[in-house]
A and B are shown apart, each in its own frame.
Chain A
């Protein structure tokens, strides 16, 4: 390996990188898709959904948090990893209450699109059917915790970009849940606005705008037209705006 060698290997393909990049950033730049849900290039990586787990020189690690080192051998789309990612997506589905057939986010939902990508055809695990609270108190946005996967993208967006800290996680284990920064605990009593960045980052249908459901028919929605491996992290909200 040479001193100014800025290449590493993903699934046998040599990929160049810029110093300081994470595996995810370098892969995305090279047009290689690594499945993810809690990662969004505009925010600090969190590394909690674990979907972007790859094998780095034989060791498991998250592509979104680990820096690239020259000469590293990274396994990404191997049967072993795809199988484990499928299991994690199935886990996310049984943990919450996800009702794709009539969910407004269907077709624009990263969770659903990633599920297709990893080849998920059933839930596999027993459903948890948790009791979770829906918060419809905000005039413009709906918070349905049934569909929350605790990725903390809204938490990060509200803290880093909006500087409002509207969201936070409370509890632990299965009781981990999203809480709102208001005395009543209701979104409507917080200073959250539909114009906040946090209103446009949810990868599932947990945080969605009101009064604009189903603007596009099935077949024309974001991931109906293109596979998530091509679309990548692009947000459906942006797409809606383009089409709206």
Chain B
């Protein structure tokens, strides 16, 4: 194990001004350098920041990519979204475990290597994907996994690996106004300065712009409420925690249109009277961080950020905060908790973010794509924006298409586009189902492919996963249900426990141990979890089960055993621990199942 260099830790602490609000950022730096945040380091940080040790511990154990024990020099996380599974992540994982001689989720005996699964990494168009020390590798084959293992076993640092291994493709398949417009940085700001901030707000209002994260709240109303709210300071927050499985459109916007994102944030700052903005970047996209930092630096040099922007009496700057692996942080109040260096637990609402956000001050929190659109509206006006889309959903939407299609990637369509149009463009054939809006969205079957992508019909943050006829949809549902159970923040009881119960139910069905009673139980648990949960996570966690139960019930019924009563667990299996303790595994240490089997046959 690497010895702790406290001088180095002091350096990290100083770089973050020993500010308790920077706790998560500090812990991330330490995690990257030492592969974990061990007890003595937690204690040291607690004292240095004046933050209770229990809180430091709480934060470390909350986030997927932080660890209370050192995990080693090489930390590999294999993406486990259903699309990665369909592309064969299982064989990649098997190869890695075998060649590295490591057990899943446990550091290797020599303390140098750690391998685990993680939720969707936003690389579904080029899976199976994995992250090594935060750096992405795409389209990993078992052969490639062997090479990776060989380099790790030889102790070769990542910097010496072929650089093309870390290349991430950005496949834009259908480009609309967002993806074809390359505006000179600063032009939208100039337009806003010349026409005034009230004019811009009115234009955004007239354009009917609604949040592109999926919830569809009217952007102008959010900005107005925030602007009018009293506070010591106002803040602009960009939600780049693109965590919904199957979504990766923000990855492309941040890579290719970072200027447009920052310009939109600056416009928001101008409108609401903020001097400070944060971009919360999901940990899986940490590889884009240097590019974003460089873009910010260039914008400062061009007087598009900092003091007196473009010679006007307006100061605004942007800080980038990294996430550390938590889907729930996509919920805006949880994201703000995380920005403040805490566990990403959604706050009780009201009060809302617009009046009580970061540090309880008025804050605007918008999706990456929404900020890009505000810049376009500032430049081209609301009439231009209203030319595309539907009456209730004006403008275009970026869709991240993955799964069983010939051409996965980004598709920009006006709202109102039918699911079938997208499928045809992406080269999907013999499609069994489409998951629109990710696991928290809607699962539809061919009869509904005429439905439209819009807030009034199929609302989506951008995820569009396609499943061909050959797929086992229950495996899809199982993957999604496990996802929610693992990502529940644990704050409220119906979600914390309900998502586990739903996970148990689908496992029982898939393993062939469920009776018709299970389906009724799922609906009961789902009703409670959906109605009583604190935030969107728990409220939507049962969607994959409920949608497919409604549309594909025969798939479930085919997996039920026909008995009236089947034990909820395997009694013999339950005695495994006792056998282990007694160090016995002979015939007499097992229950005779023959009689029961005979009975079952009758």
Footprint of B on A, CB under 8 Å?
45-50, 53, 60, 62, 65-67, 84, 87-88, 91-92, 94-95, 125-126, 128, 149-150, 165-176, 179-183, 185
Q: Is the CB of B53 within 8 A of A182?
A: yes
Report the minimum CB–CB distance from B91 to chain A (whole Å): 28
A sample of 18 more A-B contacts (CB under 8 A), given A171-B58, A175-B490, is A47-B348, A49-B492, A50-B493, A50-B534, A62-B348, A91-B497, A125-B525, A126-B504, A150-B493, A168-B54, A168-B55, A168-B57, A170-B60, A172-B328, A172-B343, A173-B487, A174-B485, A185-B57
What residues of A have a CB within 8 angstroms of the CB of B500 in the complex? Answer: 95, 128, 173-174
A160 and B525 CA atoms in complex are apart in Å by: 35
Q: Mark B468-512, 1 if CB is under 8 A from A, else 0.
A: 000000000000000001111111111011111100100000000
What residues of B have a CB within 8 angstroms of the CB of A95 in the complex? Answer: 493, 496-497, 500
Q: Mark B30-71, 1 if CB is under 8 A from A, else 0.
A: 000000000100010000000011110110111000000000
What residues of B have a CB within 8 angstroms of the CB of A91 in the complex? Answer: 493-494, 497-498, 501, 528
Q: Is the CB of A176 within 8 A of B57?
A: no
Q: Which residue of A lies closest to B539 (CB)?
A: A60
What residues of B have a CB within 8 angstroms of the CB of A174 in the complex? Answer: 485, 490, 496, 500
Indicate whether A171 sits within 8 Å of B61 (C-beta atoms), given known contacts A91-B498, A125-B501: yes
Q: Is the CB of B53 within 8 A of A47?
A: no
What residues of B have a CB within 8 angstroms of the CB of A165 in the complex? Answer: 52, 54-55
What residues of A have a CB within 8 angstroms of the CB of B189 in the complex? Answer: none
Would you mind naming 25 contact pairs between A and B with Cβ atoms under 8 Å apart?
A: A48-B493, A48-B534, A50-B492, A53-B531, A66-B350, A84-B527, A87-B525, A88-B494, A91-B494, A91-B498, A91-B528, A95-B493, A125-B525, A126-B568, A149-B493, A165-B54, A168-B55, A170-B57, A170-B60, A171-B58, A171-B62, A172-B343, A174-B496, A174-B500, A176-B491
Report the minimum CB–CB distance from B298 to chain A (whole Å): 38
Q: Is the CB of A126 within 8 A of B528?
A: no
Q: Which residue of B lies closest to A174 (CB)?
A: B500
A125 and B499 CA atoms in complex are apart in Å by: 13
Indicate whether A181 sits within 8 Å of B489 (C-beta atoms), given known contacts A47-B534, A94-B497, A128-B500: no
Question: B524 near A: Cβ within 8 Å?
Answer: yes
Q: Which residue of B lies closest to A95 (CB)?
A: B497
Q: Which residue of A lies closest to B326 (CB)?
A: A172
A168 and B531 CA atoms in complex are apart in Å by: 28
Q: Is the CB of B52 within 8 A of A181?
A: yes
What residues of A have a CB within 8 angstroms of the CB of B55 in the complex? Answer: 165, 168
Q: Size band of the B side of the interface?
A: 35 or more
Question: B533 near A: Cβ within 8 Å?
Answer: yes
Question: B569 near A: Cβ within 8 Å?
Answer: yes
What residues of B have a CB within 8 angstroms of the CB of A181 in the complex? Answer: 52-54
Of A87, A173, A175, A183, which one neighbours B499 at CB under 8 angstroms? Answer: A173
Q: Is the CB of A169 within 8 A of B53?
A: no
Q: Is the CB of A48 within 8 A of B499?
A: no
Report the minimum CB–CB distance from A158 to chain B (whole Å): 9
Question: B425 near A: Cβ within 8 Å?
Answer: no
Of B326, B490, B532, which one neighbours A60 at CB under 8 angstroms? Answer: B532
A167 and B54 CA atoms in complex are apart in Å by: 6
Report the minimum CB–CB distance from B117 to chain A (whole Å): 14
Report the minimum CB–CB distance from B529 to chain A (whole Å): 9
Q: Which residue of A lies closest to B497 (CB)?
A: A91
What residues of B have a CB within 8 angstroms of the CB of A50 in the complex? Answer: 492-494, 532-534
Q: Is the CB of A173 within 8 A of B531?
A: no
Footprint of A on B, CB under 8 Å?
39, 43, 52-55, 57-58, 60-62, 326, 328, 343, 348, 350, 485-494, 496-501, 504, 524-525, 527-528, 531-534, 568-569
What residues of B have a CB within 8 angstroms of the CB of A175 in the complex? Answer: 61, 490
A170 and B534 CA atoms in complex are apart in Å by: 19
What residues of A have a CB within 8 angstroms of the CB of B568 in the complex? Answer: 126
What residues of A have a CB within 8 angstroms of the CB of B534 in the complex? Answer: 47-48, 50
Report the minimum CB–CB distance from B154 to chain A (whole Å): 35
What residues of B have a CB within 8 angstroms of the CB of A182 in the complex? Answer: 53
A67 and B348 CA atoms in complex are apart in Å by: 12
Q: Is the CB of B490 within 8 A of A171?
A: yes
Report the minimum CB–CB distance from B138 to chain A (whole Å): 28
Report the minimum CB–CB distance from B445 to chain A (whole Å): 29
A184 and B487 CA atoms in complex are apart in Å by: 28
A128 and B498 CA atoms in complex are apart in Å by: 12
What residues of A have a CB within 8 angstroms of the CB of B62 in the complex? Answer: 170-172
Report the minimum CB–CB distance from B576 to chain A (whole Å): 14
A166 and B52 CA atoms in complex are apart in Å by: 8
Report the minimum CB–CB distance from B523 to chain A (whole Å): 12
A108 and B448 CA atoms in complex are apart in Å by: 55
Q: Is the CB of A173 within 8 A of B490?
A: yes
Indicate whether A168 sits within 8 Å of B52 (C-beta atoms), given known contacts A84-B528, A125-B501: yes
What residues of B have a CB within 8 angstroms of the CB of A167 in the complex? Answer: 54
Indicate whether A49 sits within 8 Å of B54 (C-beta atoms), given known contacts A84-B528, A171-B61: no
Of A65, A67, A128, A169, which one neighbours B343 at CB under 8 angstroms? Answer: A169
What residues of A have a CB within 8 angstroms of the CB of B487 in the complex? Answer: 172-173
What residues of B have a CB within 8 angstroms of the CB of A53 in the complex? Answer: 531-532
A218 and B531 CA atoms in complex are apart in Å by: 37
What residues of B have a CB within 8 angstroms of the CB of A172 in the complex? Answer: 61-62, 326, 328, 343, 487-490
What residues of B have a CB within 8 angstroms of the CB of A170 in the complex? Answer: 54, 57-58, 60-62
Q: Is the CB of B348 within 8 A of A45?
A: yes
Indicate whether A179 sits within 8 Å of B57 (C-beta atoms), given known contacts A165-B52, A172-B490, A173-B488: yes
Q: Which residue of B lies closest to A159 (CB)?
A: B52
Q: Which residue of A lies closest to B574 (CB)?
A: A129
Chain A CB within 10 A, most for which of B54, B343, B485, B486:
B54
Report the minimum CB–CB distance from A176 to chain B (whole Å): 3
Indicate whether A173 sits within 8 Å of B486 (C-beta atoms), given known contacts A60-B532, A62-B348, A88-B532: yes
Q: Is the CB of A169 within 8 A of B490?
A: yes
Q: Which residue of A lies closest to B68 (CB)?
A: A170
Q: Is the CB of B490 within 8 A of A183?
A: no
A174 and B484 CA atoms in complex are apart in Å by: 11
Report the minimum CB–CB distance from A188 to chain B (whole Å): 15
A50 and B490 CA atoms in complex are apart in Å by: 12
A60 and B485 CA atoms in complex are apart in Å by: 22
Indicate whether A87 sits within 8 Å of B490 (C-beta atoms), given known contacts A47-B348, A165-B52, A171-B62: no
Q: Is the CB of A60 within 8 A of B58?
A: no
Report the minimum CB–CB distance from B62 to chain A (whole Å): 5
Report the minimum CB–CB distance from B168 to chain A (whole Å): 28
What residues of A have a CB within 8 angstroms of the CB of B348 in the complex? Answer: 45-47, 62, 65
Q: Is the CB of B58 within 8 A of A48?
A: no
What residues of B have a CB within 8 angstroms of the CB of A180 in the complex? Answer: 54
